[in-house]
Amino acid sequence: MTKTLLNLSQAAQAVGITRRTLYNHVKQGKVTVSRDGKNNPVVDVSELIRVYGNVNLPEKQIPSISHRENTQKNFPHEQLTAMQKELAEMKQAITLMLEDKTLREKENQQHEDEKNQLREEIKKLSESLEQAQKKGFWSRLFG
């Protein structure tokens, strides 16, 4: 299977964005660019599909390619069902992990509040002890 490579102008037109936007996406690392034999920047159509989803190539190239249509045609029903089940299980696992994380954060906050409360109590008791130690013998005896 041969790669279909487009120059940056063709690539921008194929995905319906400006060349400037495509250059920015390349600069940001969103789109991977390679070089042709003449060292000109080119983009593989598969890269455009990965990043932008749908690609409309010129008539002399390949007709419109839709990533979604392509994957749905190429996956047997059993594989698709298995992947959907796995995705549902992963979503459930993520939900449980988030609930667990929230619970742990709540418990940590309660522990932190208890520690602060105990620190305040220690501070008050220390101040009371200091006050008692500062009093003279007679004031402690009759005070």
Say how far residue 118 (Cα) sits from the centre of its chain: 39
Average pLDDT, the chain: 83
Is 142 within the bounds of a domain?
A: no
Residue 66: in which H helix or E strand, if any? strand 65-66
Helix (H, G, I), strand (E, B) or coil at 43: strand
Q: What CATH number does residue 43 fall under?
A: 1.10.1660
Q: Which of 74, 105, 127 is the endpoint of a domain?
A: 74
Please answer whether residues 9 and 19 qualify as being in contact, where contact means their C-beta atoms are separated by less than 8 angstroms. Answer: yes
pLDDT score, position 64: 44
- Is residue 43 one of the residues assigned to a domain? yes
**Residue 67 shares a structural domain with residue 13:** yes
User: Which tokens hold the place of 28?
Assistant: 């940001």
Mean pLDDT value of segment 78-106: 88
What pTM, to 2 d.p., does this model score?
0.41
Looking at the domain assignment, is residue 96 inside a domain? yes
State whether 63 and 17 are in the same domain. Answer: yes
Residues 6 or more apart whose Cβ sits within 8 Å of residue 136: none
How many domains does the chain fold into?
A: 2
Domain extent for 70: 5-74
CB distance 42 to 5 below 8 Å: yes
Residue finishing a domain among 26, 41, 74: 74
Whether 69 and 93 map to the same domain: the answer is no
User: Which tens digits make up the pLDDT trace of 2-58?
Assistant: 678 899 999 999 999 999 999 999 999 999 999 988 999 999 998 999 998 888 876
At 81, the amino acid letter reads: T
pLDDT at residue 103 tops 50: yes
